[in-house]
Amino acid sequence: MTKIMTKRTNRILQIIVGLLLTVTLSGCFGVNENFEQIRNNILSNIDGSYSKNTEMGFGSITLSLAEIFVSFSNEENAGFITDALDNVSEVQVGTYTGKAADKQMDFRFLKKATAKLTGYGWQTLIRVKSQGSLVAILYKESGDDSIENMLILTRSGNGLVLVELYGNLTEIVELALKENGENFNIVDNF
């Protein structure tokens, strides 16, 4: 009986230590300086005061765990998601709330918000306005013309979300276009 209790206790300790190591080594803490600079550039360009709700960074260990969980899923897009996660090495996420919903819910808001970023090498991939939300996706290329960094800015009502991705993102863009390209009549280009 005592051996069974000792084995269970050891197993529980192993799980706890494993979880602690995963959280501490995964990059699941605050965001990096680059993300802070991007956030400050965007928030300084838009009207209205935004307060930070959450900012978190996720490293390769956390993303690998997410990939494992998704691979066991019965979700229809699980294959696409695991392929995408396999190409991402780091994610930074920030959510912010404005004092009131800005009346400027058009592309001028997105252009204004991302104006300073073009000076740092960011290029606009797409800007979308749909059902009261605005989305801008920007990217940075590496020296070999592959996409190594992507920024997604989403605004709805008085909420603002920033997501920055690092990794081999060219493949993710290609996968997304192949999966959803028929909706935009561009699937034949890939």
pLDDT digits (tens, 9 = 90+) for 116-128: 888 888 988 888 8
Q: Which of 117, 113, 115, 139 is nearest to 126 (CA)?
A: 139
pLDDT digits (tens, 9 = 90+) for 9-57: 666 656 665 555 555 554 456 788 888 988 888 888 776 578 888 898 8
The span from the CA of 112 to the CA of 90, in Å, is: 27
The span from the CA of 92 to the CA of 140, in Å, is: 15
Report whether pLDDT(107) > 80: no
In this prediction, residues 73-87 reach a mean pLDDT of: 71
Give yes or no for a contact between 99 and 183, defined as CB atoms under 8 angstroms apart.
Answer: no
The set of residues, in sequence order, having a beta carbon less than 8 Å from that of 27 and lying 6+ positions away, is: 57, 58, 59, 60, 61, 62, 90
pLDDT digits (tens, 9 = 90+) for 152-183: 998 888 888 999 998 888 877 776 666 665 55
pLDDT at 12: 67
- Average pLDDT of the chain is 75
Report whether pLDDT(1) > 70: no
Give yes or no for a contact between 159 and 165, defined as CB atoms under 8 angstroms apart.
Answer: no
Q: State percent of the chain over pLDDT 70.
A: 65
Place of tokens 């000792």: 6
